[in-house]
Amino acid sequence: MKNIAVIGAGTMGNGIAHTFAQSGYKVQLIDISEESLKKGMDTISKNLDRMVAKEKICEDQKNETLENITTFTEISEGVENASLVVEAATENTDLKLKIFRHLDQSTSEDTILATNTSSISITQIASEVSNPERVIGMHFMNPVPVMKLVEIIRGYNTSDEVTKTIMDLSEKLNKVPVEVNDYPGFVANRILMPMINEAIETLYNGVAGVYEIDTVMKLGMAHPMGPLQLADFIGLDVCHSILEVMYDGFKNPKYAPCPLLTNMVRAGKIGVKSGEGFYDYSESRKAEKVSSQFNS
């Protein structure tokens, strides 16, 4: 495997492209938005600068990593010659089904098609492809260059051979792959999202403020980051979509997104990427809590 196509240059896509490129793979990074591609490449460059400053890599390794990445705005051009496609576009079922229908037409039968979806059924996505045994979930964690885990999700039809190839490849990226089965939220988000949703519900009910809730979980449970700040980093839109998928998939009201989360997504306050969520990420007030509205 030499050429890897990554679809989506947002939070996850640029991290996935960075990780493959730093391990020596040629990466074809695809996004419909030129602006996202530019922003994604800037992020990769800044993250590499930070690694150079910390002496984790040298200047030459930074340049080689950047040279390994080429950008595209057309899926058909970007996936040419790719042995593996990792889809990391927006968490939306219809969008992902459409992308995989396109991939079915534009890739050869032996190209492995992976999706970084946080919750959408791998089996459903694979149903858009004429040979679904080549479709698999490759769920990287944020920030990708730092986080060790890759949750590998086998769809109903995913072959043993494809699963082994992707488990081995994840190890070559210096990650730890864990194999799980295809049910809503898989393992990571089935456990994480109800906790985040409950933290938002606790805020919504006026039990405590943003700072208090996050501090209880950080200092009391030894979590490196509070659940509200973690939600800001994941993206409140992404959290909302995952909860909707689990709510729908299990038909269980315990997964219904908290009304405050829904309101914040509708208002465009979706966390770090929009500059404001439970905290303010604007340059002047970096990571201050948004106090007036949410503190009891």
Ligand X SMILES: NC(=O)c1ccc[n+]([C@@H]2O[C@H](COP(=O)([O-])OP(=O)(O)OC[C@H]3O[C@@H](n4cnc5c(N)ncnc54)[C@H](O)[C@@H]3O)[C@@H](O)[C@H]2O)c1
Touching ligand X, residues 19-78 (CB under 6 A): 30-33, 36
> Partners of 279 in the beta sheet?
289
223 is annotated as an active-site residue: no
Distance CA 12, CA 191 (A): 20
Q: Are 170 and 25 within 8 A, CB to CB?
A: no
How do 288-289 and 279-280 pair as beta strands? antiparallel
Q: Which stretch binds ligand X (CB under 6 A): 50-58, 112-120, 190-198, 285-293?
A: 112-120
**Of the candidates 4, 5, 6, 8, which one interacts with ligand X according to CB under 6 A?**
8
Nearer to ligand X (CB atom), residue 4 or residue 12? 12
What is the DSSP code (8-state) at residue 147?
-
Query: Tokens in use for 117?
Result: 């979806």
Q: Which is nearer to ligand X, 99 or 209 (CB)?
A: 99
Question: By CB under 6 A, is residue 3 in contact with ligand X?
Answer: no
Give the range of 4-12, 159-167, 213-221, 276-284 binding ligand X by CB under 6 A.
Answer: 4-12
Q: Should residue 117 be labelled a site residue for ligand X when binding is judged by CB under 6 A?
A: yes
Is 119 an annotated catalytic residue? no
| Cβ–Cβ < 8 Å for 278, 231 | yes
* Min dist. Cβ of residue 33 to ligand X (A): 4
What x-and-dash track marks residues 160-199 binding ligand X by CB under 6 A? Answer: ----------------------------------------
Of the candidates 119, 139, 197, 276, the residue annotated as catalytic is: 139
Query: Which stretch of DSSP H or E encloses residue 262?
Result: helix 259-266
Q: How far apart are the C-alpha atoms of 112 and 86, rounded to whole Å?
A: 9
Q: For residue 151, what are the β-bridge partners?
A: 139, 178
Owner of token pair 């933290």: 199
Residues 224-253 interacting with ligand X (rule: CB under 6 A)? 234-235, 238
Residue 96 structure tokens: 């992902």
Categorise residue 70: left if φ over 0, alpha if ψ from -120 to 50, beta otherwise: beta
Question: Which stretch of DSSP H or E encloses residue 70?
Answer: strand 69-72
Instruction: Tell me the closest approach of the beta carbon of residue 115 to ligand X, in angstroms.
Output: 7
DSSP state of 73: S
Catalytic, out of 118, 121, 197, 241: 118
Candidates 4, 5, 6, 7: give the one binding ligand X (CB under 6 A): 7
Site residues for ligand X per CB under 6 A: 7-13, 30-33, 36, 88-91, 95, 99, 116-118, 139, 142, 234-235, 238, 273
The residues carrying an active-site annotation are: 118, 139, 151, 189
